[in-house]
Structure 1
Amino acid sequence: MELIKIASELVVGYVALLFTTKILGKTQITQITAFDFISALVLGELVGNALYDNNIGISQILFAVALWGALIYITEIITQKKKNFRAILEGKPTLVIAQGKILRDKMAENKLDMNQLQHLLRSKGAFSIREVEYAVLETDGTVSVLKKSPYELPTRQDHQMPEQLVSLPVTLILDGEVIWDNLKEFGFSEKWLKGQIQSFGAKEYKDVLYAEWQKDKGIHVQTF
């Protein structure tokens, strides 16, 4: 009976958390703010602690998740409507390098040391601070970099080259399984797909690790 109780509470908590996160919206983990991170931890702890507390049942779990989700939802609405609250709850971007000079006071305010700054800059392709004109520490802990002009990559406009249409690649096979929705969406038939992978030496879909199609470039297939 104890295992059945834990299982039922876990399933209900799982559904409640899933429903709550759908209502609150999507946030990529790399873009999560400190407040979002703490909110996610508390929401998970509400369910986790309730599982092993004999005095707490399913109704209490649902109430706790619903109340916490409502508080977060109200907070999100407030931050969208009131800009002043946005800085308090989400923080605001901070300039840590300006005109090539490191702003040590701004780094100290954000508890950022030189090793961390160098790591963040390298993740943006700037392996030397001398390459950076401006660097902004974002609210999610990442850094946005504007390089000095000698270190910026040339663009097609710089070379006075004509514009070129950009198209997204479409995944057709992943780990030996066909993405049928993508295949149908772009009007490809199964017969066409089989013919394409066979030209790359694959007899069956299970022989294909990855296959994608892109306009003007055709299909790319990699077998196991």
Structure 2
Amino acid sequence: MLFGGWQPILHTLIVGVLGYVGIILLLRASGKRTLSKFNMFDFIVTVAFGSVLASMMLSKSTSLAQGLAAFGVLILGQYALTWMSSRFEKFDKLIKAEPRLLFHHGQVIEKAMKDERVARSELDSALRDSSLGSIGEVAAMVLETDGTISVIPKSKAGDEASIPNAKE
């Protein structure tokens, strides 16, 4: 129970190293978009990568070839989603959330905050991260599709056109 012999350990080491190298090569071949900031689909692929790698390393019934094939399927799926999303606006809107305006013209938009389950403390944190001195310097705060909050300073906002695609 505590030690099952050297063969399982050797299997884990060999498959772990080869699987790791395989992931790196597949991700490198698939392009930068596969590792972009997280959206829902990126999160799913990341969790699935971890599951596949764990199965490869710890299960004798999952071969290295099966694991690498699974990585290939996940990367191909991610590539297909991003390809479709970049070419078909309706598909993009179907699978991706839109940015949401949380703060504008000196006012917190309470309905948006409640709908998106964002606490006021998260706006405060985004303000601190932005290096602005006070909320008075902020034109808008937008909840981005990857869950981050963008802070748009008044000095850069200029007009409404500089807050693209954010709905209230």
* TM bucket normalised to smaller: 0.7 to 0.9
| Alignment correspondent of 2:105 | 99
| Alignment correspondent of 1:119 | 125
Distance 1:76 1:30 in 2: 11
**Cα 1:61–1:30, aligned 2, differ >3 Å: closer, same or farther?**
closer
| Alignment correspondent of 2:22 | 16
Q: Highest Rg: 1 or 2?
A: 1
| Alignment correspondent of 1:135 | 141
Structure with the larger strand share: 1
Distance 1:63 1:146 in 2: 43
After TM superposition, the structure 1 stretch with the greater mean CA deviation from structure 2, 24-33 or 103-112, is: 24-33
Greater relative contact order (Cα < 8 A, sep 6+): 2
Q: 1:109 aligns with which of 104, 107, 115?
A: 115
Unaligned runs of 5+ in 1: 153-224
SS at match of 1:145: strand
TM-score normalised by structure 2 residue count: 0.76
| Alignment correspondent of 2:41 | 35
Determine what percentage of the aligned residue pairs are the same residue.
25
Shift in Å, 1:25? 2.2
Shift in Å, 1:91? 2.1
Aligned length: 150
SS at match of 1:5: helix
Unaligned runs of 5+ in 2: 1-6, 157-168
| Alignment correspondent of 1:46 | 52
Q: Which amino acid counterpart does residue 124 of structure 1 have in structure 2? A: S
After TM superposition, the structure 1 stretch with the greater mean CA deviation from structure 2, 66-75 or 89-98, is: 89-98
Give the conservation status (yes or no) of the 8 Å contact 1:30–1:140: no
TM superposition outliers: structure 1 runs of 4+ over 4 Å: 27-30
Structure with the larger helix share: 2
TM-score normalised by structure 1 residue count: 0.59
Query: How well do the aligned residues superpose, as a CA RMSD in angstroms?
Result: 2.4
**Cα 1:106–1:40, aligned 2, differ >3 Å: closer, same or farther?**
same
